[in-house]
Amino acid sequence: MGETVPGPAASADAGRVERAVVVRRLLAVDREGGLSALHVRITAGLAGVSERTVWRWLEQGRRGRVEARPRQGGFVVGDALWEVLTQAGGNVAELRRRMLRAQDEGVLQRWGVEVVPSLATLHRAIKDELRAGRVLPVARAASGRVEPSRYDRALAELGFADGKDGPPVVDGPAAGSSGTSGEGRTDAAGVGVRSGGVRLYAPGARLVSTRQAAGVVEAVGHTVAARGIGCVYGDTGLGKTVAVEQALHLLPGRVPVWRAVVGVRPGLPQVRAALCEALGLPSGALTHRAGPADQALAGALAEPGVLFLDDAQRLTTPVLDYLRQLWDSPGCAAALVLCGAGSERALARAAAMRSRVLTWHQVTRLDASQVPQTLSLFHPVWEDADPADLVRADEQTARGNFRTWAKITSHVCAARGHDPGTRVGRDAIDQACARLGPYP
């Protein structure tokens, strides 16, 4: 990728080291003949800029310019205002609204600003800072985040059936209604497959944003903001793909998302074809000629965006090394997100690729304390169930696996269809668990 972007802890620190201090220290080390890339990497993190920017500063310092040139008038975004922009998730309009509120309250000066500029001026000043190498760590947790249970219940009450008006939260029509699934079809039981391949097995089931899913959203958000490589891993059935899809859906609309589908242990021609198809390149004409295909892929990846590869555990070491070479090509500005049960072991066998992974995020099982509330949001059939019965079934059968709970829900709904008025008790849950066989 050509540069390393420091994480939020380093770049958002209000006490970052000034450019002049960085350049003078580096020049002193350089005069001793011991300057290395590690020195540049450390100072980039302390200054909150990219390594490429520090190299540029150093080159200018060798020519005698240590200090930054003073700006010729115009609005300047200081450290305090940059921190507010970070808290606003990089939303410039929200930054200006906060500035207007601070101006009305008479506290605008604490951010080093006398008057609120126009929105266009704010955009220009922020773009200048980004071009100069300043990092915007937009992946930190939002300070005003809505309680997940309130958020999910509100989405469920709205009853979205697809992703046109927001994140896809319903898989198939609600009980007693008609309709199609996210892919435009309905099976015999009225349960479709949501676009993205997530099967929820029961009519009326809803996707739920658990604490585990929120962690994936933040990890993927940081990876995309830093234009790095991320790996989301964990046991099967824990909702890794669902969480990554939610994270990609929440990215700004201007960030293109490319999804590549690969087979089991694919060769390089198959991977080139999958990548060309995902990026909208003429795969039929390119994949049989490695040179032109690689050049076309490198050119497409020069655009900021994110490539998502699910089931990355299928990839062999040569394929992972090929992906690493693409991301090492000059000008690559895209992020890469790999996901899959066992994907971390596949990457461990490709040492060069493993060393370039910026974010490792393990998706864990549902805690027993999460199960009752999560299931009540997942399907109405659980709203009146005894929490103790659900915790007992989780300890004995589901063990925090969301896919297993989706299967149990399907069997409970089928049994309840014969007597819809009955409350779901321990016997009904045990009967549903028994239908999962020896390998739930």
Clarify whether residues 272 and 393 are in a common domain.
no
Specify whether 52 is located in the same domain as 29.
Answer: yes
Q: How far apart are CA 310 and CA 277, in angstroms?
A: 15
DSSP-derived 3-state class of residue 70:
coil
Q: Quote the domain boundaries for residue 380.
A: 371-434
Backbone phi and psi for residue 238, each to the nearest 5 degrees, phi listed first? -95, -5
Output 372 or 168, whichever has higher pLDDT: 372
Same domain, 349 and 377: no
In this structure, are residues 163 and 240 in contact, taking their beta carbons and an 8 Å threshold? no
How far, in Å, CA of 86 to CA of 305, rounded?
Answer: 20
Domain shared by 234 and 279, yes or no? yes
- 248, 353: one domain: yes
For residues 257 and 336, what is the distance between their CA atoms, to the nearest angstrom? Answer: 10
Residue pLDDT, tens place only, 74-122: 788 888 888 888 777 778 888 899 999 888 888 888 888 888 888 888 8
pLDDT surpasses 60 at 72: no
Task: Indicate whether 304 and 430 sit together in one domain.
Answer: no
Is 229 found in the same domain as 355?
Answer: yes
Going from the C-alpha of 339 to that of each of 231, 304, 311, 326, the distances in angstroms are: 6, 20, 6, 18
Say how far apart CA 246 and CA 116 lie, in whole Å: 35
- Check: CB of residue 204 under 8 Å from CB of residue 235: no
- Is the per-residue pLDDT at 261 higher than 50? yes
| Cβ(77)–Cβ(70) below 8 Å | no
Our count of domains for the chain comes to 4
Task: Write the pLDDT tens digit of every residue in 281-296.
Answer: 876 655 556 778 888 8
Cα distance between residue 218 and residue 244, in whole Å: 10
Give the pLDDT of residue 286. Answer: 58
Overall residue count recorded for the chain in this entry? 440
* CATH assignment of the domain containing 276: 3.40.50.300
**119 lies in a domain?**
yes
Task: Please indicate, yes or no, whether residues 303 and 375 belong to a single structural domain of this protein.
Answer: no
